[in-house]
Structure 1
Amino acid sequence: MTRMNVWVPDDLAARAREARLNVSALTQAAIAAELARTATDAWLATLPAPRGLTHEASMRALDDAREEFGA
């Protein structure tokens, strides 16, 4: 495992020590979450733009399909 230096304000470090937090685990989780978020953002950016269909129109179409197929 690679060792990294992470700089935090003194008061935050003191509070983390007082709370007996596993700062390494928290840092790993935060980095993993940020990587997942940016990957999701990148994926969303590849999707086509919405076509301007309103929620109400979508719900009407769904209701019509249910009525047509007896669901």
Structure 2
Amino acid sequence: MARLNVYVPDELAQRARARGLNISALTQAAISAELENSATDVWLAGLEARNTGARHDDVLAAIDAARDELGA
């Protein structure tokens, strides 16, 4: 496993130590979350917008009808 140096303000480090937080686990979780979010953003940006011809109001009406039918 790679070893990294992470710099945080002194006060933040003191508060984290006082609470007994696992800085390594928090850092790993934050990096993983950021990578997942950016991967989703890249995927969404690559999607091609398609015009279905459906009007927004018609789509909302269909969703409402489905909710009524399914009791949601």
What TM-score do the two structures reach when normalised by structure 2?
Answer: 0.75
- Percent of residue pairs identical: 53
Give the Cα separation in 2 of the matches to 1:32 and 1:61: 38
Aligned length: 64
Structure 2 residue 16 is the aligned partner of structure 1 residue 33: no
Match of residue 22 from structure 1: 22
Structure 1 residue 60: Cα displacement: 3.1
Structure 1 unaligned regions, length at least 5:
none
Unaligned runs of 5+ in 2: none
Are 2:57 and 1:59 equivalent residues in the alignment?
no
SS in 1 for 2:2: coil
Q: Deviations over 1:35-71 (max 9, x none)?
A: 00000000000112264842x22033454xx7xxxx8
Structure 1 pair 50/17, CA: closer, same or farther in 2 (3 Å)? Answer: farther
